[in-house]
Amino acid sequence: MNEIKRLSPEAEARLNQGLLGLWYPVLPSWAVQGTPVGITRLSRNIAIWRDADGAVHAIEDRCPHRGARLSLGWNLGDRVACWYHGIEVRGDGVVASVPAVQGCPLEGQKALPAYAAKEIEGAIFLYFPIADEPPPPLDLPEEMTSDAYSRMLCTAHWKCNWRYAVDNVMDPMHGAYLHAQSHSMAEGDKQAEFRTRKTQTGLVFEKTGQMGVNFDWVEFGNSGAIWLRLSIPYRRKFGPGGPFTIVGFVTPVTETSCRVFFWRIRKVQGWQRHVWRFLYRTRLEGLHWQVLEQDRVVLEDMAPRAREQEYLYQHDVGMSRVRRILEQEAARQVAHA
């Protein structure tokens, strides 16, 4: 069952660093306030700041003069100024001023790549182009966009390659084992049969015999961003809104680390929304962190080169399909490079 078809080293590197041509959440919105922030995503250093209107700007975090990190410098609104010798670079990557020298030819040059930015539901998304193409629209699942739902963002840094974090979500069966002691996944069969079903944007991987008891299905989609969706039933004592939906994103940081973004969602309005948000903040969020920590502990300590020495079985078919989709995309991207 474990089909091994080797990717070229270039495609493997592209996949490990992160596929391009996609939007990725990179930071929660609250993390960018007055001063520029330096981050690494998809193995690139990026400087992010807000202008006076609150709009987000993102450029490569490297001063075109001698390479100091621009994120260490000053926020001048539409520009940042390098701390080292004062060069000012605009949000589109063009050098606005070289204050130490008169008439420096660097002024007016586009010196750095810039990233298109959007803010959605409390997170900053950046577009990582393949070449220089304009960003495509970003169509997220309705739980992320419709007013009928109430969303809470949870984000964490994990010291594992992003592909393992995607594998983990594409693997519903771990709910009944790894999270067996949790508030939401203590019930249901310890064995299951699965099937895959195609969707417009990807696929659903679901149990054939059990629905609405545990982590019983998961969906992979690519619609401008790669997202994962799943739902977990909630017992009545956890308040109004029925099942608990999670829409998740995994953003590569380096080849050995990633940042996960999970929106925790319920279909609640009016007073029920207040009840759910209150319950979440006071009680459920802590319980969910315990669950997420179980995932993190396992994923950060997988065997070296785990993926190359696996024995996969029927429960791993959904994960294998998604791996194949991602591998094909990586191969396509490096072939066009």
Question: Binders of Fe ion: how many residues, by CB under 5 A?
Answer: 1
Scanning residues 61 to 100, which ones bind ligand FES (CB under 6 A)? 63, 65-66, 68, 82, 84-87
Q: Does 295 bind Fe ion (CB under 5 A)?
A: yes
Closer to ligand FES by Cβ: residue 56 or 63? 63
Task: Name which of ligand FES, Fe ion, none residue 295 binds, using a CB cut-off of 5 to 8 Å depending on partner kind.
Answer: Fe ion
Closer to ligand FES by Cβ: residue 99 or 122? 99
Q: Which stretch binds Fe ion (CB under 5 A): 91-99, 152-160, 238-246, 287-295?
A: 287-295
- C-alpha dihedral over 319, 267, 281, 168, to 10 degrees? 0
CB of 225 to Fe ion, least distance (A): 21
How far, in Å, CA of 239 to CA of 183, rounded? 13
Our measurement of the distance from residue 67's CA atom to the centroid of its chain's CA atoms, rounded to an integer in Å, reads: 28
Annotate 76-108 with DSSP letters as a single string: -SSEEE-TTT--EEETTSBEEE-TTSTT-TTTT
Question: What is the Cβ-side half-sphere exposure of residue 72, based on CA atoms within 13 angstroms?
Answer: 11
Helix extents (H) in the chain:
9-17, 142-145, 162-169, 270-279, 285-300, 317-335
Task: Name which of Fe ion, ligand FES, none residue 126 binds, using a CB cut-off of 5 to 8 Å depending on partner kind.
Answer: none
Q: Which stretch binds Fe ion (CB under 5 A): 65-73, 231-239, 291-299, 311-319?
A: 291-299
Scanning residues 21 to 40, which ones bind ligand FES (CB under 6 A)? none
How far, in Å, CA of 117 to CA of 295, rounded? 30
Q: Does 167 bind Fe ion (CB under 5 A)?
A: no
Longest dimension (CA), the chain: 74
Closer to ligand FES by Cβ: residue 87 or 112? 87
Residues that bind Fe ion (CB under 5 A): 295
Residues that bind ligand FES (CB under 6 A): 63, 65-66, 68, 82, 84-87
